[in-house]
């Protein structure tokens, strides 16, 4: 059982030379206290707090699945309450600031207007977002994509969702 300070490698440790680690402490096999997300052993790029029960709580900065320091340094910044995302969460690209986000309700479901990344975001290559409404965690109504694929025309299209959150 893990019970001390710990450094864990990101799942894709060597992909695009990310060298990302998660640094924190375990107690009785549970993550506790502040955990830092560190890139190349020096730069803190994310992290947040685990309570004594190993549950995420308070302000967090999480990495996008395709985080890459040079091409897509995108994080999600927001707050957890009792292990659930709540309130306003922002999608942040480190050089351009806030590029998306929305609100999580009291039970951790996306609600209201959201702007999300569409497909794989890569700076100076493919920068596309999709904007629309969530109702109790399900996409509803029309969603509009916008952005640029460099070397091509500006991309715009609409996608419509039914009451079950399924694309029509």
Residue 9 in any domain: the answer is yes
CA distance 118 to 106: 26
- Supply the DSSP string of 106-160, one letter for each residue: TTS-EEEEEEEE-S--BTTTEEEEEEEEEETTEEEEEEEEEEEETTSPEEEEEEE
Q: Is residue 31 part of a domain?
A: yes
| pTM attached to this predicted model | 0.85
Determine, yes or no, domain membership for 28. Answer: yes
- Express each pLDDT in 57-100 by its tens digit: 999 999 988 777 666 788 999 999 999 999 999 999 876 789 99
Q: Does 141 fall in a domain?
A: no
8-28 residue pLDDT tens: 988 766 555 568 899 999 999
Question: Which of the residue ranges 2-11, 32-41, 154-163 would you say has the lowest mean pLDDT?
Answer: 154-163
Give the chain's domain count: 1
What is the domain range of residue 37? 1-54
Would 101 be classed as within a structural domain?
Answer: no
Decide if 148 is inside a domain: no
Q: Which residue, among 82, 79, 76, has the nearest Cα to 62 in the 3D structure?
A: 76
């Amino acid at each position: 059982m893990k019970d001390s300070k710990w450094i864990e490698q990101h799942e894709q440790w060597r992909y695009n030379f990310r060298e990302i680690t998660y640094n924190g402490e375990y107690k009785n096999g549970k993550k506790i206290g502040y955990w830092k997300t560190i890139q190349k052993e020096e730069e803190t790029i994310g992290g947040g707090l685990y309570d004594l029960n190993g549950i995420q709580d308070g302000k967090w900065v999480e990495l996008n699945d395709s985080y890459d320091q040079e091409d897509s340094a995108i994080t999600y910044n927001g707050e957890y309450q009792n292990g659930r995302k709540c309130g306003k969460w922002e999608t942040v690209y480190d050089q351009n600031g806030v590029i998306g986000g929305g609100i999580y309700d009291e039970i951790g479901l996306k609600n209201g207007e959201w702007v999300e990344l569409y497909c794989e975001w890569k700076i100076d290559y493919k920068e596309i977002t999709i904007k629309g409404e969530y109702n109790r965690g399900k996409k509803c109504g029309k969603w509009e994509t916008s952005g640029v694929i460099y070397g091509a025309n500006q991309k715009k299209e609409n996608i419509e969702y039914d009451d079950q959150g399924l694309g029509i």
